[in-house]
Structures are given as C-alpha cells and as structure tokens.
Chain A
C-alpha cells in the first residue's frame, strides 16, 4: 500500500535561518507531488506542485523553493526564514490523472521566532 511520510513533525526556527522539509512517498511511482501551507485556523494554500523529477511549478511568489531530486521525494526549502513563514506545511501526492488519490501527509508545524 502507498504511504506518505513527512518530517519533522514540528520545528522551531529563528528568523533568518534556513529550512528544509522533506516528504517521501512509498508504494507508488511517478506520482504528482504537492506542498501546501495552512496558516492557523485558515484554509489550504498550494505552494508548489511537481509532475516529475526536476519539474516544479510555483503557485505564489514567496520566500520558499521546492525541489524533486528523486521520483518520490519532494523537498521544501528556504535560505532565510521570515516570521510570516510560520504555519502548518502539508505534503500530498496523487496518481496521475486520478484526483481521488490526493493523499496528505501528517504535516509539519513550523514556528519561526
């Protein structure tokens, strides 16, 4: 069966420090991958999505970047965190052409102090 792993679960980082959040999917190949951010008590904002290795689409201009170095690995990064980067970050995957398979990871709560 397919599983999605996200880590770390929680992270407290100072302003100006770098960030690296990792997401991996098991049990499938060539998935679509997504990074979402959820501010406290708010909806889901799509940050990046990827349809293949090295293919990244950015949805909103921001202080973050994403990379897909391997088929089932999706990384969210920042060189210098801002206070406004705090939030709950969710990774998700889907089978190509199958929107039902939009499965979320358990999330990373990032607090920038």
Chain B
C-alpha cells in the first residue's frame, strides 16, 4: 500500500530558528496536506496543496508540493514556543476516501 516517509522524527530547536521537515512517497498524490497536533488534541489542518510545484504560505509557514508529486516540505520561520507539537504530512490520491499520513515530526522549541 501507499506509504509516506516523514523526516525528521523529532527536532529540538532554539526559539527564533527556522525549521524544515519533509515527506516522500513511493507513489503519486493529487493533494498534499500538512497538519499540526497540539498535545492531547486532534490534528488541525495548516496548509493544503493541490498542484505540482505549488508553493503556499500561511503566516510563518510555507509548504511546497513537489514537482514529481511524490514529495512535499514544510518550513516554519522564526519559531516560537507555541509551535511545539507534532506535524503530520498527509497525501490524497484521486478517487480515494482516505488520507495517508506520515509518521509525524515532533517539534520542541527552547525559549
């Protein structure tokens, strides 16, 4: 079945630093999404990407849909303590009812 490889597994950074995480897939997706999960809560959608090569920003967050349609990255600029959480990538294939999720990147920010 389809799998997403997300890296890194975890990051411990200093407040103010930039962060980058990515996902790769063995197959093509039509949509890439990035979610954030705060501790003890359900994931919340951050950014959705619909076209190969698309670059989309949401405040300090920027995500790109890879040209091959098999990868995506998420950048967070000037990190702050409230960025702490688990970030998940997710991919969707045409005609499928399901999202395929990556294994998550746990982000810790040192004030």
Which residues of A come within 8 Å of B, CB atoms? 32, 34, 41-44, 46, 49, 51, 57, 90, 92, 99-100, 102-107, 109
Whether B88 and A99, one on each chain, are in contact in the complex, defined by CB atoms closer than 8 angstroms, is: no
- The interface size of chain B toward A, counting residues with CB under 8 Å, comes to 21
Q: Beyond A44-B88, A99-B92, is A104–B31 a contact (Cβ under 8 Å)?
A: no
* Residues of B contacting A: mostly: strand
Whether B88 and A43, one on each chain, are in contact in the complex, defined by CB atoms closer than 8 angstroms, is: yes
Q: Nearest CB to that of B104 among chain A residues?
A: A43
Whether B102 and A43, one on each chain, are in contact in the complex, defined by CB atoms closer than 8 angstroms, is: yes
Q: Nearest CB to that of B92 among chain A residues?
A: A99
Q: Is B98 an interface residue (CB 8 A)?
A: yes
- Chain A residues with Cβ under 8 A from B103's Cβ? 42-43
* Residues of A contacting B: mostly: strand
What is the CA–CA distance of A103 and B44 in the complex, to the nearest angstrom? 7
- Chain A residues with Cβ under 8 A from B97's Cβ? 32, 49, 51, 57
Q: Beyond A99-B33, A102-B33, is A44–B101 a contact (Cβ under 8 Å)?
A: yes
Q: Nearest CB to that of B31 among chain A residues?
A: A99
Residue interface bits B69-111, CB-to-A below 8 A is 1, else 0: 0000000000000000000101010000111011110100000
- Chain A residues with Cβ under 8 A from B31's Cβ? 99
